[in-house]
Structure 1
Amino acid sequence: MPHSARVTGTAFEDVLITGLGFVLPGADSPELVWRQLREGDSQLSALPPVLSSGTGIHSAGRLGDFEHTPYLPDLPDNFAKRYSREILVVLSAVQNAARDAGLADDGAIDPPRTGVVASCSRGPAEWWSQTASGTAWDPARPPVSPAQAVFASLAGTPASLSAIRLGAQALVSTVSNACVGGHQALALAAHEIQRGAADVMFVVGHELPLTPEVLQVYSASGTSVLSRDTEPRRAIKPYDLRRDGFALGEGAVVAVLERRKHAEARQAPVYAALRACHSISEAAHATRMDLSGQSTARLMADTLDTAGASPGELDYICGHGTATRYNDLAESRALGHLFGPRRSDWTPLGSVKPVYGHLLGAAGLVNCAALALMLKHQCLAPTINCETVEPECDHDHVTEGARPGEVRLAMSLAFAIGSQSSALIMEAAG
């Protein structure tokens, strides 16, 4: 793939990931998330009829009976009752990330040098769905009353309230740009550090899309991209001949970005380093990427150029991996353009979506958190449910199980409704 001389993407120097926080189905710590990724332990489960009735969709990654009190024991009840479940999920994940990074104690952060950037594609869909329909899906947990819903009704309040709880006084913002938003939030936060405006940035991906309306949007006749498999743990089958789409997931993931000197001064543990991010608009088909793979290959090549690396230096690519025909074929075709026709030269391409589902605006953060864990543990997570490989996708998807080995440089891919694509490169620490 010929490289371009023009400036593309953004390169990052000395921006590290020093903490990870999670509230995902079946997992609330880096240790649990890594175990589930490594073992290919899908956390998808059956949807209740109150959500799925009439859609033909059976599976999703659900949080279940989430309670915020174990994570936020000091949150006053009069505050919590005004917060939606989504806000409480995000605050809990941010608190988990602060603890993991060693920044949870009083005085651990410098407020003017700390910020929060979030990504969410749908905003407070869960609150609006229940409020507009007058239906509480769980009578024990009714939605916040409209009379008290100043926070619950706004897309940006999870980030704003996280900043208030942390005391973060630098940039606070929420990106809403479908599935590329997570990469863009990471890049925006890393840019704040690189330009000297912050030392620490909390980057949040959150999505609670499991509403009847969202399920109907994604399962409508003629446009359905959701799997109808009745066995939840096998619903998402990336690159497999039998694939029939993805399942949605809900939750929050947080990455703590930190300036290297700041991290070294406090002897913080490091998961990985950000090297480059590039986001483009194909300005073409509104709902799918270029099926030839050429646009994605150029995106990948330009991002590698930005990082000062070559395709041969990539040890792994965490694909968007939605188990939809167009996505899987476009990603595989892109590898052909980037690496050449000999498939033995292609870098492994995998997907983590079968484990937690597709978290839409948080998907890029899920990918990058998974990469950070792979880089830390020097082990590639498997692509589960990929058993009868689509002939055109017949290359290395790490299907045999977790693969220990040297992992130095890795890439995450994301594709979004609206003809947008992004790539992000991370490097092992040290």
Structure 2
Amino acid sequence: MTKKIVVTGIGATTPLGGTFPDSWKALLDKESGISNIEADWAERYELPIRFAGQVKVDPSEVLTRQETKRLDPSSQYALIAAREAWADAGSPDVVPERLLVDWATGIGGIWTLTDGMDTLREKGPRRVLPMTVPMLMANGPAAAVSMDLGARAGARTVLSACASSTESIVNAYEHLQLGHADIVVTGGSEAAIHPLPLAAFASMHALSTRTDDPATASRPYDVTRDGFVLGEGAGALVLETEEHALARGARIYAEVLGGGVTSDAFHITAPDPEGTGAARAVVMALEASGVSRESVAHINAHATSTPVGDIAEYHALLRVFGDHLPKVALSATKASTGHLLGGAGAIEAAFTVQALHTRTAPPTINTTQTDDEIDIDLVTSPRALPEGDLVAISTSFGFGGHNAVIAFKTV
């Protein structure tokens, strides 16, 4: 028998705010989280792109000194978001062996890795910190969250580039369906606003070069879009069976209906231009959810603001929804946050859940002239969603041809 899985807690630290409510408010207020990088390394390395979606609140303002010293920023963001989500869920009293963490990242502890290499090169092996490996390993965020919450049913890690945290949420749903846990804390984090990824993405011509006005640089689906803006932060959701949530009197934000995960097997960085793999992920999510395409009222799209990626995603959505697509309220929130890579799907899933909970589709900023090849109902100001049962999906696609989609429903 299929169990009903629900969302009972949300947490985040993003370029828009240090908490999820602050991030959501800033999103609805059409604020931009994109700003110039003031760190001296941006100039020292002569980076061609010196703006990004930097976290609004520094972790040092939230965590203890020991925590910031012993955790890579990717784990720091994870801990902040997960703690907020856990408190938001009411800090459930759960047997540790029935609490599971499924977390994601796209890159992991790059700051720790490169700082350690600098120390080795400049000061020798004896000066390399003994915590370097635990801090740089990609499962560090999952481990930090599991130890903080006392989760002993598992501490899983997903690494599938920009699809990572959406895939992690799909996994969390499946863990609960299979009875592996009563509660799963899931999400993703990324801390890659660092000279190396910025230089590498710039070399690929993947980043926007709109240095004259960074706040408007990310403009999904716009005819003038020229690349994505790198972001950082974390998003977290607490998932549990409806039976478990009702038994403890928890507030329920939305129901998780199901998800789909596929791969393109096409190119290491470019999406399949026909969007076939991405479309299959959407279809799988709808089939797993037992809903029709016509029931989908809202989409939080991957929409990175790249010339190639946005059109490929449109083709994928068109394959699935056909003439229903222009009737779906579509939001592209990376315009406000930047692209959080492995953390993107988590914060966008959180936005999707909140959109259903408040029946408000969040706005897409900066897009003023939609590409003529793209026929969508792009939400550009906060918009009320209809009454009645509503279904929404959040889509994520990543380098390597990774595709992940998760579907939610109002309660």
TM-score by length of structure 1 reads 0.87
Match of 1:54 in 2: 46
Relative to its length, the structure with more helix (as a share) is: 2
Secondary structure of 2:273's aligned partner: coil
Match of 2:155 in 1: 172
Contact 1:13 1:275 in 2 (8 A): no
Change (3 A) 1:306 1:217: same
Matches within 5 A, 1:82-161: 82-103=70-91, 108-134=93-119, 146-161=129-144
Q: CA deviation at 1:162?
A: 1.5
Deviation track 1:45-75 (CA, whole Å, cap 9, x = no partner) reads: 11235136433213211126614464x5xx5
Deviation track 1:228-262 (CA, whole Å, cap 9, x = no partner) reads: 11212101000001111111111111111111111
Match of 1:280 in 2: 262
> Which of the numbers 385, 390, 402 marks the counterpart of 1:405?
385
Match of 1:381 in 2: 362
- Whether 2:334 is the aligned partner of 1:353: answer yes
Rounded Cα–Cα distance in structure 2 between residues aligned with 1:337 and 1:161: 40
Rounded Cα–Cα distance in structure 2 between residues aligned with 1:378 and 1:321: 21
Rounded Cα–Cα distance in structure 2 between residues aligned with 1:344 and 1:307: 18
Rounded Cα–Cα distance in structure 1 between residues aligned with 2:166 and 2:324: 28
Match of 2:317 in 1: 335
Match of 1:232 in 2: 214
- Please list every run of at least 4 consecutive aligned residues from structure 1 whose deviation after the TM superposition is greater than 6 angstroms: none
Secondary structure of 1:19's aligned partner: strand
Rounded Cα–Cα distance in structure 1 between residues aligned with 2:321 and 2:168: 29
> Which of the numbers 29, 32, 39 marks the counterpart of 1:39?
29
> Which of the numbers 203, 218, 242 marks the counterpart of 1:260?
242
Contact 2:99 2:153 in 1 (8 A): yes
Contact 2:263 2:277 in 1 (8 A): no
Rounded Cα–Cα distance in structure 2 between residues aligned with 1:350 and 1:160: 33
Match of 1:320 in 2: 302
Q: CA deviation at 1:12?
A: 6.5
Deviation track 1:368-391 (CA, whole Å, cap 9, x = no partner) reads: 011011011001011111101110
Match of 1:248 in 2: 230
Q: Partner letter of residue 4 of structure 2? A: D
Deviation track 1:117-169 (CA, whole Å, cap 9, x = no partner) reads: 1100111011222332359xxxxxxxx96234343122212211221111111
Q: Partner letter of residue 248 of structure 2? A: R
Contact 1:316 1:411 in 2 (8 A): yes
- Whether 2:182 is the aligned partner of 1:202: answer no
Deviation track 1:70-117 (CA, whole Å, cap 9, x = no partner) reads: 4x5xx5x5565323333232222221111111117xxx2321110111
Q: Partner letter of residue 228 of structure 1? A: T
Change (3 A) 1:92 1:344: closer
Contact 2:113 2:132 in 1 (8 A): no
Q: CA deviation at 1:422?
A: 1.8
Rounded Cα–Cα distance in structure 1 between residues aligned with 2:261 and 2:2: 14
RMSD of aligned alpha carbons? 2.2
Contact 1:289 1:327 in 2 (8 A): yes
Q: CA deviation at 1:346?
A: 4.1
Contact 1:379 1:406 in 2 (8 A): no
Match of 1:269 in 2: 251
> Structure 1 vs Structure 2: percent identity of aligned residues?
30
TM-score by length of structure 2 reads 0.91
Q: CA deviation at 1:277?
A: 0.7
Rounded Cα–Cα distance in structure 1 between residues aligned with 2:3 and 2:88: 23
Change (3 A) 1:80 1:50: closer
- Number of residues paired by the alignment? 400
Match of 2:349 in 1: 368
Match of 1:305 in 2: 287
Q: Partner letter of residue 192 of structure 2? A: P
Q: CA deviation at 1:294?
A: 3.9
Rounded Cα–Cα distance in structure 2 between residues aligned with 1:26 and 1:320: 18
Change (3 A) 1:417 1:12: farther
Rounded Cα–Cα distance in structure 2 between residues aligned with 1:83 and 1:423: 30
> Which of the numbers 55, 68, 73 marks the counterpart of 1:63?
55
> Which of the numbers 17, 20, 23 marks the counterpart of 1:27?
17
- Whether 2:7 is the aligned partner of 1:14: answer no
Match of 1:81 in 2: 69
Change (3 A) 1:68 1:112: farther
Contact 1:129 1:211 in 2 (8 A): no
Q: Partner letter of residue 273 of structure 1? A: E
Q: CA deviation at 1:417?
A: 0.8
Deviation track 1:342-390 (CA, whole Å, cap 9, x = no partner) reads: 5775423321101111111111112101101101100101111110111
In the alignment, structure 2 segments of 5+ residues that lack a partner are 121-126
Match of 1:5 in 2: none
Rounded Cα–Cα distance in structure 1 between residues aligned with 2:280 and 2:85: 34
Match of 1:421 in 2: 403
